[in-house]
Amino acid sequence: MSLRLGDNAPNFTAVTSLGELNFYEYLGDSWGVLFSHPADFTPVCTTELGRTAALNEEFAKRNVKPIAISVDDVKSHKEWISDINDTQNVSVQFPIIADEDKKVSELYDMIHPNASETVTVRSVFIIDPAKKVRLTLTYPASTGRNFNEIIRVIDSLQLTDKHKLATPVDWSNGDSCIVTPAVDTEKAKELFGKVEVIRPYLRYVKQPNK
């Protein structure tokens, strides 16, 4: 069964490149990005894990913990990490799940039989500290993911969880935000200051704390 937004992210215990871990315990009170890979030593995945490692400080300052998964074993993962570090000039510090029995892949519906019966597609799950699924993305095996977009979504989720706002098309951190319909204009002025009213339902304010 596929996971939907707002569902509880299933917990699991798995062997990883950093030893055995319980998913919920690993996340603690952090946000999480769980993302799957078709196999070790594949070129697109190598660039993706390298990019994730390069973004380590960006994830950390947002209280986000990444965790990757593929159906290969721990020995293969550790050998692959050496290749990633060498070819991408990074240091992979986050865990990679060794999902040989496909237990986690099936739990998160990461195997799409019409694409491949044996390997995971490129799935992404953003999970909040309450262990709720807040975003799902699925990419074909041939297309590398955009980690700038993943960071952008995390910024939007964390902002809009705190304030009664939404973020418009192509928004990035620091841009103007949209007042949600549940907040009238006078209340919006109290909360956010100047309100630019384009239509009664379309109102912009500066991003708080920027």
Just list the catalytic residues: 45
Q: How many CB atoms lie within 10 A of CB 3?
A: 17
- For residues 164 and 10, give the distance between their C-alpha atoms in angstroms, rounded to a whole number: 28
Residue 35 has which token pair?
């993302």
Q: What are phi and psi of 62, to 5 degrees?
A: -100, 5
**C-beta of residue 195 within 8 angstroms of C-beta of residue 189:** yes
Q: What are phi and psi of 130, to 5 degrees?
A: -85, 5
- For residues 87 and 82, give the distance between their C-alpha atoms in angstroms, rounded to a whole number: 9
Contacts of 51 (CB under 8 A, 6+ apart): 88, 147
